[in-house]
Amino acid sequence: PQLGDCFAAPMALRSTALRSSVRKLSTLAPAVGAAAAAPVTLREDGMASFTKTLPIHKRDENQLEPRAGASMIEVIIDGNPVNIENGSSILQACESVGINVPRFCFHERLSVAGNCRMCLVEIEKSPKPVASCAYPTMPGMKIFTGSPMVKKAREGVMEFMLANHPLDCPICDQGGECDLQDQAMHFGSDRSRFQEAKRSTEDKNLGPLVKTVMTRCIHCTRCVRFSQEVAGVDMLGAVGRGNAMEIGTYVEKALASEMSGNVVDLCPVGALTSKPNAFGARSWEYRSTASIDVLDGCGPAIRVDTAKGEVMRVQPRLNEAVNEEWISDKTRYAVDGLKRQRLDVPLLRKDGVLSPVSWKEALEAGPPGPGPGP
């Protein structure tokens, strides 16, 4: 779809309330055409269920196809010849044939940092494993993704990742959709050799939208690169080195960007989570519906998550022609308009329970006001 094709949908739906975002997908499809395409399945009640096994930053098959006219080279991955576009990284070559390479810092839309070292693979005649996200492919290169050297290297990297990571999974909002959880189960060990005290880091105040628990930070720098390369503002940075490294604003201030909520989606752990949605529901309790944002003139693809009978959060869906995988803070947090949070009846706590009372009772139960003046 072209960018202009997506303007018809919000114009046709602008007169409706935000609740139209959770309508049946079949009513939206004629208006938005292919812009609503997403890995969804239709349930018996006609609602669309989003495939939750795919993270939102997962690339689709079209991104793995080589560009027209690009020069191709052949590499050998785990004994199988693979034709890949010249200049591609080893990680991209592995993904093109369906081999999942673990990673934390790498993201398809950000610059390559190569600082987590989780994507290590073995190359023939190389004395040590290399970072597949930053190492380019070469003709005839032989790559091994599951050799004993690779398994040992990944287990060692994971051990360092968990050395200072707190055991917050039961109380972490990222639990159930956390990259560190999944990869620790797959590549980590069942015991720890780290007996010293874990690192303690002060939480940063990034404003009313992003909640921080910086002891969980693994220094992947995704949020830093997003703020500089996508949002276009130097609002986050890294201070210190090694074990003393911290991510935050250089000056104590909130994030001054209309896209600050995207750092919550980018964070592979629970260091950055949504403050308005804190402790709202667990990830496996959400019922997801693919939809289109009616508050944005471009019609970004979104995913509406509901739980406990109400809309809990809005997240982006992949749409290369419109929003890629980013949405504005207005799109993300306008869901708050569906809730009634105004106190219109006085409440008085009786036996530990707030009960509605008359204004007279509330004023009499309150603290005495200031006395008469002199």
Residue 61 has a pLDDT of 43
| Cα distance between residue 176 and residue 166, in whole Å | 16
Q: What is the pLDDT of residues 208-262, one digit of tens each?
A: 899 999 999 999 999 999 999 999 888 899 988 888 899 988 888 888 889 999 9
pLDDT > 60? residue 273: yes
Residues 6+ apart with CB under 8 A from 71: 85, 86
pLDDT > 80? residue 51: no
Mean pLDDT in residue range 137-156: 93
| Cα distance between residue 67 and residue 101, in whole Å | 22
| Cα distance between residue 74 and residue 83, in whole Å | 5
Q: What is the pLDDT of residues 332-370, one digit of tens each?
A: 998 887 777 777 888 998 888 889 999 998 888 877 766
Percentage of the chain modeled with pLDDT above 70: 79
Residue 262 has a pLDDT of 94
Domain spanning 60-163 has what CATH number? 3.10.20.740
| Cα distance between residue 245 and residue 217, in whole Å | 10
Residue pair 33/5 in contact by the 8 Å Cβ criterion: yes
The boundaries of every CATH 3.10.20.740 domain in the chain are 60-163
The boundaries of every CATH 3.30.70.20 domain in the chain are 165-285
The phi, psi pair for 138, rounded to 5°, reads -135, 150
Residue 66 has a pLDDT of 58
CATH topology of domain 165-285: Alpha-Beta Plaits (3.30.70)
The two three-digit tokens of residue 226, written as one number: 């997003």
Greater confidence (49 vs 265) lies with 265
- Among 58, 1, 82, smallest CA distance to 34 is for 1
- Among 5, 56, 95, smallest CA distance to 325 is for 56
pLDDT > 90? residue 14: no
Q: What is the pLDDT of residues 294-321, one digit of tens each?
A: 888 889 999 999 998 889 999 999 988 8
The two three-digit tokens of residue 104, written as one number: 């934390």
- Count other Cβ atoms within 10 Å, centred on residue 256: 11
pLDDT > 80? residue 43: no
| Cα distance between residue 10 and residue 32, in whole Å | 9
Residue 8 pLDDT grade (very low, low, confident, very high; cuts 50, 70, 90): very low
- Which of 9-23, 164-178, 183-197: highest mean pLDDT? 164-178
